Structure 1
Amino acid sequence: MFLLNLIKVLVMIATVEAYYYQHPTTTMPPVGQPICNAVADIVFVYDTSKSISDANIPNTSTNFAKMKEFMINIVNAFNPVGPTGAQFAALCFSTVPNIHFYLNKYGTKNEILAAINNFTTDPNALTAIGDALQVARTQFFLPLNGGGRNCSQCFVIVITDGTQTAGEANAATEANKLRNENNCIVYVVSVGLQNDAQLATIAGGPSNVFNVDSFALLNSTVNAVVQAACNDSKCTTAPVMPVPPVMPGTHVNCYEVKTLLQKLISLINNKPKYGYRRYGSRRYQPKPVYVNKPVYIPRPVYERPVYQPRPRYQYRRSVKLGFRRRSMRYRG
């Protein structure tokens, strides 16, 4: 009987697992929806070398537009954006770095998105990642430019499709200075550079490298980059992270779940209908221990009231008639 109940329980668990597999409760939020409320200072350091957008190179006309769309989705994934939440800055690099705006330049999300949409490509021949990281380290995180806020974590997101080919500063050295001196975290979003040792050194490890095969797949890494930054942040703002939307038809039927749990508990606590005999003797299975067994509450003990003795009557007149002697007096 115990084995039969165990089999029933396992079947019930498998049924519940199958129900939730066929009816998922939530889905991943769409790309660009707010999923993080961290207090962070984020600097985009993106590549504008010749390989990004060049009329002489086929299939590169939309690369720069995809890169801007990636940065826009990163900004949209944070809420709030501004002095009390996430701040953003940007600079591009080719042979020389070019500063777009500092962390405290724009205080609203719409202003940052408009500035990113106005970025123009500046194709050059070479890629100076080290010089760009040096400019980010020495200028962008100063209190004058919006850095150094209380409880704010700084991030540098490098977007590139190649390794360092120009510049005086070493990219790995500048990245280590960002981590050691500014306490910044460096993420590298690489395009078409799978398992590149130089980019892994810049990021401080392969876990901070997000690689895609083409610029068209950049948006597939937005949620991963944002979640990594959100998990590595020190503080969050007052608003909580929004709950991911529930798709129609995938809600959980609480009544069905309750029924399944009741059946599961009844299988565990159910008393068998027939006992079992052992070695010819009538030995039955012991009574089960009920979860909701009623508790016996004893009735209060009845206490008899304390009666006061009746007051004695005054002596009455002698009885003239009756069986008592005339001289006797009695109490009533």
Structure 2
Amino acid sequence: MSENGDMANTALAHALDAAAHGFRVIPLTRAKLPAVRSPHHHDPVPLPCRGACGRLGHGVHDASADPEAIRALFAAAPWATGYGIACGCAPHHLIGVDLDLKHEPRVDGAAALARLARRYAFAVPHTVTVLTPGGGRHLWLCGPPGLGVPNSAGRIAPGIDIRGTGGYLVGPGSATSRGRYRLAPGSPAWHPAPVPPELLSLVQPPVRTPPERATARPSAVGAPGRDAALVRFVRESQEGRRNDRLFWAACRAYEAGAGDELAPALIEAALHTGLTRREAEATVASAARSATGSTGRTLPPVA
């Protein structure tokens, strides 16, 4: 058997072990991306789909704890060398705390978490801890049922990324282009600790005050502050990132209660980048559904 075949079998074995403990998994490539190719990549106008078409290839929406479904996923991606664990799913309602470690510029997520723990008076739990090839670590925590935790990058502190609903963590035993993920010495296996209430409050998005409706909002393109920045962010999109940036901006607008007013300007900005009106309108509609209750993909904040 080839080296790739050996790694795929190893990844499958680890994934099945995780599933036996209630975690939902998907196969990953060496680049830590979902390994099953999208069934929509040849569509002339790809529309948002979370698996309703019945085919494999919808990223974390394919995640399953059923052994036969997992074997089918890996059979569809024999190049897989790792596996991802979906966050936010029952029974664990997993929340991942990704602690980066970088030297240039200096970023230490573990130290940042320790500072937050001191400031907000909570103890960092002894929980499942996965060491990353880059020197960082992932902490696995159980969230409360019925409460979706959003994905974020550096929002609560530099060097701390949060993986919540719609996100996934690279599972221990996965092989990537940078090395292998492994359980930290002394770490419990498959039994994440409950998230401290103080930390749960930090990873939730800030409560937004609904805007006054008594007076008309200025036109979004000419508005100062956030609205103008969101429109500009979409207008400056490059090919390959246009839908993603439009989706992200529309989500932020709807979360702030300004989605309906700002949507036309965001769509016009997307048309300026070369998207068709149908693509732009479908992306904004998907963002509206995601931001107003249904879970979906969450994109990283603007760099």
| TM-score of the alignment, normalized to the shorter chain, above 0.5 | no
Return the index of the structure with the highest Cα Rg.
Answer: 1
Q: Which has the higher contact order (CA 8 A, sep 6+)?
A: 1
TM value normalised by structure 1: 0.20
TM value normalised by structure 2: 0.22
